[in-house]
Amino acid sequence: MRIAAVVPAAGRGERLGPGGPKALRELSGVPILVHAVRAVAASRSVELVVVAAPPDGVSLVASLLADHDVPAELTVVAGGATRQDSVRRAVASLPPEFTGVLVHDAARPLVPVELVDAVAAALRGGAEAVIPALPVTDTVKQVDDGVVVATPDRAGLVAVQTPQGFSRAVLEKAHAAATDSATTDAAATDDAGLVERIGIAVRTVPGSEEAFKVTRPLDLVFAEAILARRRAERIR
C-alpha cells in the first residue's frame, strides 16, 4: 500500500483570535501548517503530502512551504468552503497508485512521528479505517438549553485525534455518500464520522498527548513549551 497524507488547511480558525488563517499563524517563528506538514512527512510511510489551501491562497501556501524547505513530495491544491470539501478535493488529486490516505489536521502541529507510523501500520495491517484515540479523563455532561440532561459513562468515551487513516476507496465512498445525502446532518467534524455512516468499522490506536489541536491562544503557550522541551532534549 502506498500512502499519501492530506492536510486540510483552508479554514480560518477564528477561535484563535485575529491575525489571519490559523494554519499560517506562527509557532516558534514557523507557521503552524509547516510544523504539521513536517510532522507527517517525517514518517517513512508517507510518500506524498497534499495540502488543501484557501482557494485564493494556493500560491502563497506553496511558496511558504517551499521557503521552509519541507522535506517531502508535496502538492498544494485549492480547498473548499468546508473541511469536508477540502479533504474530498485533496483526495481526488492523488495519483491512482496511492491506495492509503492519512488525513491530518493542520492545527495539530506537534503530532509525534511514532503516532503517524502507528496509524499507517494499522492501515497496512488490514484496517479500512483507523483513528488515534485518548481516554476521556474529565466528567462529560450532556446539556440541553443550559440544563444537564445526562452524564455519559466516560469509561466508553475517547477523544479522537489525527492523522486518521483510511483505505482510499472507503474514504472516497464515504465522502460521496455525504455529498449525495439530502439530510441536514451531512457534514461531519471528522472523516471517521463519515466512514461510520456507511457502516465501516473504525479501529483505534493509542493517541498522544502531544497531538492536541491548537484552537485557542492558550494552546499556543502549551505548544511553545513542548517545542522548547524538544529543543532541549536534542541539545543534551
pLDDT of residue 19: 55
Best CA proximity match to 94, nearest among 60, 45, 50, 158? 50
User: Residue ranges of the domains in the chain?
Assistant: 2-132+160-235
**Which DSSP symbol is given to 23?**
G
Distance of CA 105 to the CA centre of its chain: 2
**What pLDDT is attached to residue 234?**
84
Least Cα distance to 2 among 180, 158, 124 occurs for 124
As a whole number of angstroms, the distance between CA 124 and CA 39 comes to 20
The superfamily in CATH containing domain 2-132+160-235 is Spore Coat Polysaccharide Biosynthesis Protein SpsA; Chain A (3.90.550.10)
In angstroms, the Cα distances linking 156 to 100, 120, 152, 221 are 28, 25, 9, 30
Sole residue written with cell 503516532: 115
Return d(Cα 7, Cα 17) in angstroms, integer: 22
Residue type, 13: G
**Is residue 184 classed exposed, middle or buried when 0-12, 13-18 and 19+ CB atoms within 10 A define those classes?**
exposed
CA dist 91 and 87 (Å) reads 6
Element housing 32 (H / E): helix 32-41
The amino acid that residue 117 corresponds to is D
Phi, psi of 201 (to 5 degrees): -70, 135
Q: Where are the beta strands (DSSP E) in the chain?
A: 2-8, 26-27, 30-31, 46-53, 74-78, 98-103, 129-135, 142-144, 147-150, 158-160, 164-167, 203-206
Whether the model clears a pTM of 0.85, i.e. scores above it, the answer is yes
Per-residue pLDDT of the chain (236 residues; tens, 9 = 90+): 999 999 999 876 555 555 567 788 899 999 999 999 999 999 999 999 999 999 999 999 999 999 887 767 999 999 998 999 999 999 999 999 999 999 999 999 999 999 999 999 999 999 999 999 999 999 999 999 999 999 999 988 999 999 999 999 999 999 999 987 654 455 678 999 999 999 999 999 999 999 999 999 999 999 999 999 999 988 87
